[in-house]
């Protein structure tokens, strides 16, 4: 008994769903397939979804990982290969007043004490350069569990009209998240 399992994307932004789909080797319809998950920092396998197969034994279900998660499909005594999905925190940069900004990181756990890089875009070099590193402060619970919004307010001198963004490096986002950047704003 074998089965396949693939994800619609290998990496998603926090709060975004990803579709897991596959097929069982018997190609029978109406069979119960269980999707199990193992979240970053845990060794426990938890049930993520239960889905019935359709025509040709195919199935598909949407999952929303809150941090890096590995998924596996099980059917009777068969198991699919493991599918790992990485999660990017959602970063947001706002200009509060001239030279004053707030950066927010939304994820499934508080990112207090982690550093984000406040960057400006250098047109000539066509690349982002760091203006300053800022440390994320207190976290507040978001509207939906387990969402945590970690933020920081800071001051920085930048020329008017400069493209700005915040970025969290892979090292700072680790172990349960991956590198992410905010949408750019004008300074």
Tens-digit pLDDT profile for residues 141-168: 999 999 999 999 999 999 999 999 999 9
Q: Which of 31, 71, 30, 35 is nearest to 50 (CA)?
A: 35
Beta-strand relationship, 11-13 and 83-88: parallel
Q: Give the C-alpha separation, 69 to 66, whole Å.
A: 8
State yes or no: pLDDT of 119 exceeds 90: yes
- Collect all residues with Cβ–Cβ distance below 8 Å to 37 and sequence separation of at least 6: 45, 46, 47, 48, 63, 65, 69, 70, 71, 72
**Contact by Cβ (8 Å): 137, 124:** no
Residue 176's alpha-carbon distances to 39, 66, 68, 86, 186, in angstroms, are: 9, 9, 5, 8, 30
State yes or no: pLDDT of 99 exceeds 90: yes
State yes or no: pLDDT of 1 exceeds 90: no
Q: Give the C-alpha separation, 173 to 116, whole Å.
A: 9
Write down the pTM of the prediction: 0.93
Q: Which of 121, 180, 185, 116 is nearest to 152 (CA)?
A: 116
**Contact by Cβ (8 Å): 180, 133:** no
The DSSP bridge partners found for residue 52 are 32
């Amino acid at each position: 008994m074998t089965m396949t399992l693939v994800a619609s994307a290998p990496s998603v932004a926090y709060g975004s769903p990803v579709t897991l789909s596959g097929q069982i080797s018997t190609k029978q319809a109406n069979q119960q397939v269980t999707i199990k998950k193992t979240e970053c920092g845990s060794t426990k396998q938890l049930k993520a979804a239960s889905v019935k197969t359709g025509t040709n034994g195919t199935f598909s279900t949407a999952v929303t990982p809150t941090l890096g998660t590995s998924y596996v499909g099980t059917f009777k005594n068969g198991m699919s290969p493991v599918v790992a999905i990485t999660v990017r925190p959602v970063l947001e940069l706002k200009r509060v007043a001239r030279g004053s900004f707030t950066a927010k990181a939304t994820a499934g756990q508080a990112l207090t004490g982690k550093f984000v890089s406040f960057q400006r875009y250098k047109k000539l070099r066509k690349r982002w350069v760091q203006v300053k590193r800022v440390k994320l402060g207190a976290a507040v619970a978001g509207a939906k569990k387990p969402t945590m919004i970690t933020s920081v307010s800071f001051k920085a001198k930048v020329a008017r009209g400069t493209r700005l963004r915040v970025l969290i490096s892979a090292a700072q986002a680790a172990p349960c998240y991956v590198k992410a950047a905010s949408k750019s704003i004008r300074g």
